[in-house]
Amino acid sequence: MGESKVKKSKIKKDKIKIWPYFLVAFLFLLIGFAFGHFIASKNFEISGFLIYNVSTQGYTEVSITLEPGIIYLTSDCKQLNMTTTPEQIQIIQSALDKKLLPRPTSHDLMALTTENFNITVLIVKIEDLKDCTYYAKLFLQKQNKVLALDSRPSDAIAIALKSGAKIYVKNELLDSASNIC
């Protein structure tokens, strides 16, 4: 009987010693969540490397349709219209149709280069409108490095479509877009 009491008291002491580890693990999870939220909300620098915000929070994925001279970016009942050149329309249409033009375009070369060098086209973000000009960023990833390239929206759209990447528009821009429903 005496031996049984010793085992029970030892088990109780072991349980008491374990709870600080659970507390530490919980704190690490909490800190990890807070850090993850920080990463998703800002661009910041660590040891000389700029970490770009590739979060889609505040952005909406859009689909692309075309008419001569116009790119339509549509999500639900909102549609953003961008004017562009007939050449850009032809390039984007070939990307939508998954067809190659008789001669490779710079967009084809970019898509082939990223594919052959194991660079992923992550996403395209249409971010701003200034003086009737839209601004976009093309996000590329190679291993743990992310590059955000300032781009004309039509070029970024063509590259995204050729690479299978998604296209997003800032919600503020979509809020001011045409209502099509």
Q: What is the pLDDT of residues 54-72, one digit of tens each?
A: 788 999 999 999 999 999 9
180: left (phi over 0), alpha (psi -120 to 50) or beta: alpha
Structure tokens at 50: 């700029």
Percent of the chain having pLDDT more than 90?
52
Same domain, 32 and 120: no
Q: How confident is the model at residue 52 (pLDDT cuts 50, 70, 90)?
A: low
Same domain, 16 and 100: no
Total domains, the chain:
2
pTM score, whole prediction: 0.71
Tokens 């039509």 locate to: 154
Question: Which residues on neighbouring strands pair with residue 120, listed in sequence order?
Answer: 141
Same domain, 121 and 71: yes
Structure tokens at 53: 């915000």
Structural domain including 109 reads 59-179
Q: What is the pLDDT of residues 122-167, one digit of tens each?
A: 999 999 999 999 999 999 998 888 899 999 999 999 999 999 999 9
